Amino acid sequence: MRKLVIAISMLAFAGSAAFADPILDRQALMKERGKIAGGLSKVVKGEEAFDAAAVLTALQSLEANAEKLDIDAHFPAGSDKGDTTASPKIWEDTAGFKAGNDKYVADVKAAVAAAPADVDALKAQFNTIGGDCGTCHQGYRIKKG
Amino acid sequence: MPVLKKLIGAALVLGGVGAVAVWFLSAPARLDAETLAQLGPGDAARGKRIFYAGGCTSCHAKPRSQGEARLQLAGGLQLKTPFGIFVPPNISQDAKDGIGAWSEEDLANAMLKGVSPGGEHFYPAFPYASYARMKPSDIADLYAFLKTLPAVAGKAPGHTLGFPFNIRRGIGLWKLLYLSPQPVIALPEGTPDPVMAGRYLVEGPGHCGECHTPRDLAGGTKKAVWLAGATAAEGSGIVPNITSGEGGIGDWSEADIANYLETGFTPDFDSVGGAMVDVQRNMAQLMPEDRAAIAAYLKAAPSHPNGYPARKKPEN
């Protein structure tokens, strides 16, 4: 209990600093990523009008977010223990995990580079990127109760 | 002493009668003529929908294959369960290694009765306990669609199971307990059509309950806590509660559920994971009204709290 209190206080101190805790850091990055994707999906589904400038801004923040995730720093050995749904497979097959992440980063960058001019172009990019999410979540994450 | 002898004698006789009874009760049973008559000629275009609703490719495609290769149903995946390792077989159109030589009746007996053309029981890792609720005409359509898929040579390895699960005949007793074409959730008269259609897709071809429902010691699904989520039978972790009970998806709208099945994104923009990734890709191939029907049924089905134990708090 005391350890927990100390840990929480330390986290509070560290705030959003990058060195706080790799598990919390990577979870925060994933949450942010989901939020951005959620905004884009509203456009893809036609719930919001397509605005090329706004879409490009969203894709750029997705890119900035993607570049922040550093597999070695955010998934150090031993960080499968604790309040995480990371699968041990990340450390058994780090190369495969990194390849999945690299593809995601590349697809996001490609989307920014080819700034979509209409909703159909965005939809195609969004489906590719969404598939990349599934690739890693399929093999490298374990749902827990 | 004579009393003991009599007792032993009686036990032997009873045991013998019991053994004979077990032998008869465990016999593989095929479909009756009436059901077979409902098969009719299948339609491949309609069968494609059944193929994706049933998720055949999730287990029977070559492991880790992508795209078009998902239609090469060579088998070979390893399902590691507490009963042992199950390996889905080759169900491609190869006549020797796959099911290319099967008749429509053979496929119907496999899917609705869990019986092979050779008259043996299949293990229920092949989810015929769900498929048993399917319409024969859908099996005929599926058969027609499977005929359009490629033949792939090569047998998948057999299952690796410990005693007593390696005795196939024992599955006959399991079937007496768990194999029934009856729906799991009784719906009152006047239930809207989408809910009825969803029940068929979820309880039948979709076989959602096979992973999302906890199992008892004999490996049967616990119908009283249908879809409440479960400790994963294969691999590790849990399979989520998809009822509206505590821990479930009560705060998802029907549109949220349908959208998740189509796009793989949850309402708070987490993405689909684990074995559900393949399932969702299959569901994305269905018609929008199919996904809406599944959502309507899940909302109408009874609510249960999580069917798996709460996670132990990690030690820090």
Assess contact for B281 and B223: CB atoms under 8 A: no
Cβ neighbours of residue A70 closer than 8 Å, sequence gap 6 or more: none
Q: What whole-number distance in Å separates Cα of residue B59 and Cα of residue B233?
A: 14
Cβ neighbours of residue B75 closer than 8 Å, sequence gap 6 or more: B59, B60, B62, B87, B88, B89, B90, B91, B156
Assess contact for B149 and B93: CB atoms under 8 A: yes
Indicate if the pLDDT at residue A5 is higher than 90. Answer: no
Identify the pLDDT of residue A16.
45
What is the arithmetic mean of pLDDT over B255-284?
93
The amino acid at residue A24 is: L
Structural domain spans, chain B:
29-182, 183-311
Q: What whole-number distance in Å separates Cα of residue B57 and Cα of residue A75?
A: 32
Closest in A3, A130, A145 to B263, CB measured: A130
Given CATH 1.20.120.10, say whether it is the number of domain A22-139.
yes
The amino acid at residue A98 is: K
Cα B311 to Cα A82, A85, B159, B304: the distances in Å are 11, 11, 31, 18
Indicate if the pLDDT at residue B9 is higher than 90. Answer: no
CA distance A70 to chain B (A): 20
Cα B18 to Cα B6, B25, B171, B177, B223: the distances in Å are 18, 10, 17, 17, 29
First to last CA, chain B: 66
Residue corresponding to tokens 């465990």: B26
Indicate if the pLDDT at residue A18 is higher than 50. Answer: no
**Quick check: helix, strand or coil at residue B313?**
coil
Are A142 and B280 within 8 A, CB to CB?
A: no
Touching check for B278 and chain A: CB below 8 Å?
yes
Are B277 and A134 within 8 A, CB to CB?
A: yes
- The Cβ of residue A145 has, within 10 Å, a number of other Cβ atoms equal to 16
pLDDT in tens, B219-233: 999 999 999 999 998
Indicate if the pLDDT at residue A53 is higher than 90. Answer: yes
- The Cβ of residue A140 has, within 10 Å, a number of other Cβ atoms equal to 24
**Quick check: helix, strand or coil at residue B31?**
coil
- The Cβ of residue B9 has, within 10 Å, a number of other Cβ atoms equal to 10
CA distance A53 to chain B (A): 22
What is the arithmetic mean of pLDDT over B228-239?
89
What is the arithmetic mean of pLDDT over B55-72?
94
Poorest-pLDDT segment among A6-15, B80-89, B103-112? A6-15
**B277: which chain A residues are within 8 Å (Cβ-Cβ)?**
134-135, 137-138
Confidence of residue B132 (pLDDT cuts 50, 70, 90): very high
The average confidence (pLDDT) of chain B is 93
Identify the pLDDT of residue B70.
95
Identify the pLDDT of residue B12.
78
Identify the pLDDT of residue B13.
79
Identify the pLDDT of residue A17.
46
Helix-then-strand count for chain A, H and E: 7, 0
Secondary structure E strands in chain B? 79-81, 84-86, 160-161, 230-231, 238-239
Touching check for B265 and chain A: CB below 8 Å?
yes
Q: Which residues of A touch B (CB under 8 A)?
A: 3-4, 7, 30, 34-35, 37-38, 41, 45, 81-83, 85, 87, 130, 133-135, 137-138, 141-145
What is the arithmetic mean of pLDDT over A100-108?
97
What is the arithmetic mean of pLDDT over B198-212?
98
Confidence of residue B16 (pLDDT cuts 50, 70, 90): confident
